[in-house]
Amino acid sequence: MIDHLVWQVPNLREAMATFADLSGVEPKFDGEHPVKGFQVAVASLGSAFGYGCYICIDGPLDDPAPGTYGETLKGIERPRMRRFAVQTPDASHVQQVLADRGIATKIGSNTRRQADGALGEWDYIDFSPAGPRPWGPDMPYFKQWRTSVHPSAETPAGCVLEAFAVQHPDRAEVSDFFRAVKIDVPVVEGASAKILARFRGKKGIFMLPSD
């Protein structure tokens, strides 16, 4: 199941205003990752697919350290829809499916202190032993929450994820992998890897600006 989408932006406050203008929903500032040099705003995407999901708007801190994710965000020219995360009840199963395809991973743990002081905790599949991320940066991240309340229940509501698909030049291989780890997301053929998302907010259907 889709946990959240990530909209990467070079300026968080401007992107929050754009999201609010398109959707009619004010996203909530939700804290910083000082070590990684970025900050986050969030909004719920409802439960149109039968479970809660949300969107993260990732933007850089004012002065992110060299080599950090925040520095990457500061360097992009335009917002882009990149990354989506998938909830899994069994990270070790996903790890085994990847191992069967020759992709070495490990299971890591992470936390994030939210703006209200609450601590989010989760385990995730760490692809770093495999080198470059298999199938490109738009492919899913896998996380297993250790926090009892899902973030979608505590973020501003009013939007839903109406349609979602992944475009990829290796459609057959990516589709086979998605089936193996029970990701119910359509994969369409395309010249490049891309996330395709359509939303419905208080002002109707909208898509987020993306490169």
Please state the pTM of the whole predicted model.
Answer: 0.85
Q: How many beta carbons lie within 10 A of that of residue 49, not counting itself?
A: 16
What is the residue-level pLDDT of the chain in tens, covering all 211 positions? Answer: 788 999 999 999 999 999 999 999 999 998 888 889 999 999 999 875 555 789 999 999 999 999 999 999 999 999 999 889 888 888 888 889 989 988 888 888 877 666 566 677 888 888 877 666 777 777 788 888 777 667 777 789 999 999 999 999 999 999 998 898 888 899 999 998 889 999 999 999 999 987 6
The domain 2-206 is placed in CATH, from the list 3.10.20.30, 3.10.180.10, 3.40.50.1820, 2.60.40.650, at 3.10.180.10
Domain boundaries, the chain: 2-206
pLDDT computed for residue 61 by the predictor: 97
Tell me how far apart the alpha carbons of residues 89 and 122 are, in angstroms, rounded to a whole number: 11
Give the three-class secondary structure for 29.
strand
User: 114 with 31: CB under 8 angstroms?
Assistant: yes
Tell me how far apart the alpha carbons of residues 94 and 104 are, in angstroms, rounded to a whole number: 11
Strand partners, 190: none
Tell me how far apart the alpha carbons of residues 82 and 68 are, in angstroms, rounded to a whole number: 17
Q: Which of 24, 26, 77, 81 is nearest to 58 (CA)?
A: 81
pLDDT computed for residue 14 by the predictor: 97
